[in-house]
Amino acid sequence: MSQDRVEIERQEIEREVSGRTLCDLLAEHAASHGDAPAMSWKRDGAWQTLSWRDYRERVAEVAMGLAGLGVGQGDFVAIMATNRPEHVLADQAAIHAGATPTSFYFTLAPEQIRYVAGHCEAKVAVLEDRDMLKRWQDIRDDLPALRQVVLLDGAQDGDGPGVLSWDELVDRGRQALAADRSGFDALRGRVGPEDNAALLYTSGTTGPPKGVLLTHHNLLFESAALLRLTELSPGGSSVSYLPLAHIAERVLSIYVPLALRTHVWFCPDPGQAVEYVREARPTIFFGVPRVWEKVRAGIEAKLAAEENERKRKIAQRAVATGLEVVRRQQRGEAVPFGLRARHALLERLVLAKVRHAIGLDRCTFASSAASPLAVDVAEFFAALGLPLVEVYGMTETTGVATGNRPGKVKIGSVGPALAGVEVRLAGDGEVLVRGPVNTPGYFRQPEATAELIDAEGWLHTGDVGELDGDGYLKIVDRKKELIITSSGKNLSPANIEGLLKEHPLIGQALVYGDDRPYVVALIVLDHELAPAWAARNGLEGGDLAGLAASDRVLAEVQLAVDAVNQRLARIEQVKRFEVLPVEWTAESEELTPTLKLRRRIIHAKYAERIDGLYAG
C-alpha cells in the first residue's frame, strides 16, 4: 500500500477517535442501547445477563469503591481472576477512577506474583478466591505498596482489615454514588486519551516479563482499525475463554465489545470452551493455533468414529471436496461447475451440520494469532466453510498489526498491514511496525523501550518475516528462536514443527539443533487423536505413556517424520526423534498460558533426552 494511502487511512481513524476514551464508549452504549445484553455468565448452572446500562452502573459503583480505598491517578490495580464479569468490571472501574488495571495470569506462582506486583507497585489487588489469596498473602510482606485485597469469592470475617469482599467494595461504592454522583463524573472527566488504560506483562517464553503500557488512544485506534478489517456490524457475540492477561482476549472481550457493542459470554474454564461455544453460538471466535488444532482433532476423531460406513464416506468426501475448492481458489484457478455443484450439495448435507455441531454455524469472523497457523489446519477449516482469518501482532502493537481480509485470505500469510499502520522488513528480515497502535513503551524500563522502538518510530518485533508483492506478510520465526547449526546454517524450528504436527498422531513438537550437526525433535502425541488411532489399529490401552512406547506408534511417527523430511532441505531434515510419554501443558510449564512453547524450559527439562539423540 502506498504511503499516501496509509496516511489517509490514519487521518480518517484519528478523526474518528480523537479526544475519546473507553469511558466515552461505555457511556454511549449505556445511553443508546441500555437494555441490550453486554455480558452473560453461568451461576449455579443458569445463565445470568448484564445489560449495557447495568454494566456502566456496576463500573461506576466499583470505581467509587476503589476511589474510597485511595486509588487514583498514577496508581495500579492488579486483577487476578478467571474470565468473569467482575474481571472486566474491575478493569474498567480502575480506568474510570484514573488508575491503570493490570491483569495477571492466574497460573502465576508466588515468586512471579512478587515480581510483577512489586514492579508496578499495585495498590489494590482483585483476586478470584482463597487459593489466589494464599499465594498473595505468602508474599504480602514483600509488597509494601499493596494496601487492600478484594476477594471475589470466599471472603471471611477473620481475613483482617487488609481483605475486603467484592460485595462490600460494590456496596461502599453504591453508597458513595448515591450520596454524590458528581464525584463519579469528576473522576471520569479527568481521564484523557493519552492516559494509560492497561499495563500488560508479557507472558515471556524467556526471561522475566516486561510491562507493556497501552493508552486509551492505542486501544481506540486498534479497535477502529479492526472494525475496518473485519467489516463486522454492531452487535454480535463472542465467547471469552483465554486468559484476560493476554492482549488478544482483552481486545476481543473488552475493547472491541466497547467499540462494537458485542455481547460477551464468559467461560471461566478454557477446558469447557467447546461446550460454551455450542450454547452461545458466537458470531466472532478467536483461537490460538493450538485451540484450532484441538478442534480439528476432535472433528476428525468424531468423523472417523462414525460407525455407519456410508455416512463416514460422505463426510470424508465433503471435506475432500471442500479442500479441492479451497486449494483451487488459493491458486487463483476457476472452480469448475461440476465441482461447485458437488460442493454446494455436500455443504448442505455435511459441512453446515459440522459447523452447527461445534457451535460455529453463526460465526462470521473466525481468527487465529499468537503463533503461525499450520497451512493444513487453515485449509481444513476453510474446507468446512469456516475460513480462519490469520492476524499478526503482539502486546506491544496493541494486538493486531496485520491481518487477512475476509474473502481475501492468503493461507500461510498473516495479511497486509492494518489500516493506518506501516509494516516493513529490516535488512535481516525482522518485521518492523510503525503507527498509532505502538505502545508508548515498557513501564520503568527505558533501555528496553529504546531497544524496542527506534528513533524513527519503528517498533522492532523480534520476528523474522517475508512480504509478497501484495504486501501480505508471512512470519518465518522468532528472530531469537532461529536455529543456527554447527555448520552456520539458519533454520526455522517453527516451520519444521508445523509440518510435523500435520500428522494427526502428533500433537506437539519441539525441534532442536543449535550448535549441533543435525536437527532432532521431541514429539508429544495428540492426547485426543492418538487413542482413537490406537483403537482403529487394534492397540490395547489408550494412555499416552503406553502409546509412546508402542512399536506400531513409533513406526507410524517415523513414517510421518520421513514424509516431512521429503519436503525439507537436507540441512533441515529431522535425523532423530523421541516420542515423550506425557502431554505438554501450561501447568507442566512447557507451554505459556497462551499455549506457546517455552523453548528454554523444554531445553532444560529434557536436556538429557536431547543429548541422547546426539549420542553415538
Taking each helix axis from N to C end, the angle separating 216-230 and 3-17, rounded to the nearest 10 degrees, works out to 120
- The CATH class, in words, for 482-614 is alpha beta
Predicted confidence at residue 203, as pLDDT, reads: 60
Question: Considering only CA atoms, which of 536, 558, 413 is closest in space to residue 471?
Answer: 413
- DSSP state, residue 306: -
Q: How far apart are CA 302 and CA 452, in angstroms?
A: 46
Q: Are 514 and 484 in contact (CB under 8 A)?
A: yes
Q: How far apart are CA 69 and CA 87, in angstroms?
A: 18
Q: In 10 A of CB 36, how many CB atoms? A: 16
The angle formed by the CA atoms of residues 235, 47 and 262, to the nearest 5 degrees, is: 15
Q: Which three cell numbers stand for residue 483?
A: 536455529
The angle formed by the CA atoms of residues 144, 149 and 152, to the nearest 5 degrees, is: 160
Q: What residues of the chain score a pLDDT lower than 70?
A: 1, 203-207, 487-489, 541, 616
Q: In 10 A of CB 417, how many CB atoms? A: 25
Predicted confidence at residue 372, as pLDDT, reads: 79
Burial of residue 540, with CB atoms counted within 10 A of its CB: 0-12 exposed, 13-18 middle, 19 or more buried: exposed
The answer to whether the Cα torsion of 108, 111, 117, 119 is positive or negative is negative
Burial of residue 581, with CB atoms counted within 10 A of its CB: 0-12 exposed, 13-18 middle, 19 or more buried: middle
Q: Are 283 and 276 in contact (CB under 8 A)?
A: no
Q: Quickly tell me which residue has 520465526 as its cell.
A: 477
The answer to whether the Cα torsion of 304, 306, 307, 313 is positive or negative is negative
- DSSP state, residue 511: E
Q: Are 46 and 229 in contact (CB under 8 A)?
A: no
Q: How far apart are CA 490 and CA 514, in angstroms?
A: 9
Amino acid type, 480: K
Predicted confidence at residue 322, as pLDDT, reads: 96
Q: Are 522 and 606 in contact (CB under 8 A)?
A: yes
Beta strands in 9-45 (DSSP E): 37-43
Predicted confidence at residue 479, as pLDDT, reads: 74
Predicted confidence at residue 593, as pLDDT, reads: 77
Residues in the chain: 616
Does domain 22-191+233-282 bear CATH number 1.10.10.10? no
CATH fold match for the domains 289-479 and 482-614: no
Topology of the domain comprising 289-479:
Rossmann fold (3.40.50)
Residues 6+ apart with CB under 8 A from 495: 372, 476, 477, 572
Within a 13 Å sphere around the CA of 481, how many CA atoms are in the beta-carbon half? 26
Q: Which residues pair with 171 in a beta bridge?
A: none
Question: What are residue 510's phi and psi, to 5 degrees?
Answer: -130, 125
Q: Which residues pair with 512 in a beta bridge?
A: 520
Domain extents in the chain: 22-191+233-282, 289-479, 482-614
How far is CA 604 from its chain centroid?
A: 26
